[in-house]
Structure 1
Amino acid sequence: MHTTPDGTEVVATRAEAEALASPPLLILDEVTAFFDTHGLGAGPLAWASIGDGQSNVTYRIRRGNEDFVLRRGPRPPLPRSTHDMVREARIQQLLRVQGVPVPEILAVCEDESVLGVPFYVMNYLDGLVITNTIPPALSSPEDRRATSAAVVDALVRIHSVDVSSGDLAGFGKPEGYLSRQVSRFSSLWEVNTMRTLPDVARIGGWLADNVPDSQAAAVLHGDYRPGNLMFAPQSPARVIAILDWEMSAIGDPLADLGYLTATYSEPGSESTPLELTGVTRHPGYFTREDVISAYRERMDLDLTALPWYQALALWKASIFCEAIYTRWLKGERPHDTVFGPSLEEGVPQLLRTAAQFAGLDRAAL
């Protein structure tokens, strides 16, 4: 944990923030005043960054003997709808009441004058986020399988929440969700790229011409993968929190299943820029087909059209990854020496895999 400002991302005072060419991410006196107003701990702040910071920014904040998590959007200017902290906090509050394992939201700041963007504070949870290393506490063959089963169980829990009435009913419009996704992301390509990749339009056209009929409306996480789950730190494997709700919506539940399975790592699968939980390549974890079968057993949905949703997931991913690549090319990600440059080949790779799910002739692309 850090206690001394670094002068760029974290500064002590508003005056120091205003003297910078680029706004900082934390202003300690402002955060301290906000915490005081909401009765969150006492004393000076210590902080540490959590996660890779590709999108929204998350900090662990310590005051005295208490720990909190502060989550905010990246530096402006960015599309507001993509980083709506108030909305992200609200859906977690609604889901927590329904018994979905999410962190407790302790305070929400809609006042952009505090840090330049809205943010929220939630409770800190002591748990395991599984990415590329098998946690020793969950390394037995039984726990590996239980870990995989818990991934599916948590998704089923989200998709089983009733969205037909109450506050969640007004959280989004499930009718036409899939068509809107295809239309919206098609429009984003040209404004986010500096190169020509014909696969984008070809796959987008196929998606638009083959939109399946949605069988149900559900809460969508939007970025559902094992790396966005927190597990209890001891056996048996148990999900204690589903994290990172910035892409949440009300729509077709198979969009989540499509994303989970399209990006899922298994022995022999091609690595992509979205392989963020490579641990499932190891023996004992579910394969992609195991995940699909376990979901099918729990949900009364026809999965015949699942390849369409898998193609949609990777096609969308190629478009938002291209935006990151373009920002890197423009020098707007000066500290990114790995992920940004990898997308020169990574985006075309995502498109090739999307085409495979779509059943399109790769030679024709």
Structure 2
Amino acid sequence: MTAAQNPAGLDLRRLRQWLPTAVPGAGGELSAKLIAGGKSNLTYEVTDGTSTWIVRRPPIGHVLATAHDMAREYRVMAALQDTDVPVPRTHALCEDTAILGAPFYVMERVEGIPYRYAGDVAGLTPERVRVISEALVDTLGALHSVDPAAVGLAGFGRPEGFLARQVNRWKKQIDASRTRDLPAADELHKQLAARVPTESAAGIVHGDYRLDNVLVDAQDRLVAVIDWEMATLGDPLTDLALMLVYGRLADASVSDLIADVSTVPGFLSEKEIVERYSRGSRRDLSELGFYVALASFKLAAILEGIHFRHVHGQTVGEGFAGIGDAVVPLLESGLRSLQEYR
């Protein structure tokens, strides 16, 4: 996108007045472009012609602050600055809604690519893809080894009872968006509720960890983990399991909207991901089947919600027609996982 004087949701005149208070030396006329939008938080690239920054704010008109908590995103990235987890350097959080109409924060712009589709890595050899996917797993292990209290995040979430709450949350979500009978959903929920394990030691959970939520530089180094809007304290094995299930969803090839970079030659297989994570982690993976089943239930609930909106004419754009076809296979995969990882 080309730079604009006032992209939607960003008043550059007011931002120009405020920015020097957060970034000494910032000034001059600002221009900006929206680089990520929609129902997720909005991300802008802002420049004064000399320096460039990233500004993040909630979706325009969104009023559910708990779902798009700028202070939460900012806090977790600021806490991780001096750890082995690469994150963008944060500059300032602004909770004065008079500036942009919503809280926002400013962070450094990191040069890197969020690989999402197989075509994005078409120019990379399988060896390079393998290096990138290994770094993805190793960085997740580094995140999960961080002591939340040691970096000032002791009160960042409620880890006690985290797994049981997740089971209940996604049951409510899938029930609220059903357009059809889903007996596999009822069976998977029943088995999950009956098998909630003793939780892994509490840690920082990214909440949506995958290759297109990290930035990779030209030397195939993972230089930043981004999109922390789902971060909390809880059971970190939910991150590992969700990454695995994203891979299973990519293999299903149900829609062009599904990220499929994990299907390219060189990307670690599910078994290789688990083995590499296990070698670098002290966490007990004996109940991994539960976590994979829970992640399958979560993604099925999310996709059923998208299918519901598509059926009712509430989606905009192409590619949604096949989304609903992935729900039952995901649920059945979740049921199998309860046995596969025993």
Q: Do both proteins adopt the same fold according to a TM-score greater than 0.5, normalized to the shorter chain?
A: yes
The 2-side partners of 1:197 and 1:227 are apart by 30
| Deviation of the 1:260 alpha carbon | 0.9
Partner in structure 2 of residue 337 of structure 1: 317
Q: How many pairs align?
A: 338
Q: Which amino acid aligns with 1:246?
A: E
State whether structure 2 residue 11 is matched by structure 1 residue 27. yes
1:296-343 per-position Cα deviation (integer Å, ceiling 9, x unaligned)? 11112232221211121121123234444455566655xx21254443
Q: What is the CA-CA distance between 1:53 and the residue it aligns to?
A: 3.5
- 2:270 paired with 1:288: yes
**SS of equivalent residue, structure 1 residue 55:** coil
Paired with 2:254 and 2:69, the residues of 1 have a C-alpha distance of 28
Q: Which residue of 2 aligns with 1:247?
A: 230
Residues 1:214 and 2:205 aligned together: no
Matches within 5 A, 1:184-333: 184-192=169-177, 197-234=182-219, 237-264=220-247, 269-271=251-253, 276-327=258-309, 333=315
Contact 1:263–1:274 under 8 Å retained in 2: no
Q: 1:354 aligns with which of 327, 334, 339?
A: 334
Using a 3 Å threshold, how does the CA distance of structure 1 residues 63 and 166 change in structure 2: closer, same or farther? Answer: closer
Partner Cα distance (2:306, 2:60) in 1? 14
Match of 1:91 in 2: 76
Where 1:296 maps in the other structure, the secondary structure is helix
> So what's the TM-score if we normalise by structure 1?
0.82
Aligned equivalents of 2:102, 2:328: Cα separation in 1 = 33
1:76 aligns with 2:61: yes
Determine what percentage of the aligned residue pairs are the same residue: 33
Shift of 1:186: 2.4
Cα deviation per residue 1:80-119 (whole Å; 9 max; x = unaligned)? 2221111111011001132420001112121234333322
3-state SS of 1:315 partner: helix
The corresponding residue for 1:18 is none
* Pairing 1:102-181 to 2, within 5 Å after superposition: 102-132=87-117, 133=119, 135=121, 139-165=124-150, 167-181=152-166
Q: Is the 8 A contact 2:90 2:107 kept in 1?
A: yes
| Contact preservation (8 Å) 1:102, 1:241 | yes
CA distance in 2, matches of 1:146, 1:233: 12
Distance 1:341 1:44 in 2: 44
Does structure 2 conserve the Cα–Cα contact (< 8 Å) formed by 1:96 and 1:104?
A: yes
Q: Does the 8 Å contact 1:160/1:218 carry over to 2?
A: yes
- The one-letter code sitting in structure 1 at the alignment partner of 2:335 is A
Assess if the C-alpha contact under 8 Å between 1:112 and 1:118 holds in 2: yes
- Aligned residue in 2 for 1:15: none
* Compared CA separation, residues 254 and 113, structure 1 to 2 (3 A): same
Alpha-carbon distance in 2 for matches of 1:273, 1:354? 20
Which residue is equivalent to 1:56?
Answer: 41
> Is the Cα contact below 8 Å between 1:214 and 1:252 reproduced in 2?
yes
Q: Equivalents in 2 of 1:199, 1:357: separation in Å?
A: 13
How far apart are the structure 2 equivalents of 1:272 and 1:303? 29
RMSD (Å), alpha carbons: 2.9
Query: 2: CA distance between counterparts of 1:326 and 1:67?
Result: 40
Give 1:31's aligned amino acid.
L
Q: Give unmatched runs, 5+ long, in structure 2.
A: none
Cα 1:240/1:169, change in 2 over 3 Å: same
Structure 1 residue 265 displacement after superposition: 5.6
The one-letter amino acid of 2:231's match is S
Residue 272 and residue 34 in structure 1: after superposition, are their counterparts in 2 closer, same or farther (change >3 A)? farther
Deviation at 1:68?
1.1
**Contact 1:85-1:118 at 8 Å conserved across structures:** yes
Assess if the C-alpha contact under 8 Å between 1:218 and 1:252 holds in 2.
Answer: yes
Query: Which 10-residue stretch deviates more, 208-217 or 338-347?
Result: 338-347
1:212-271 Cα shifts (integer Å, max 9, x gaps): 11232211111111111111212xx321101111111111121111011111269x9323
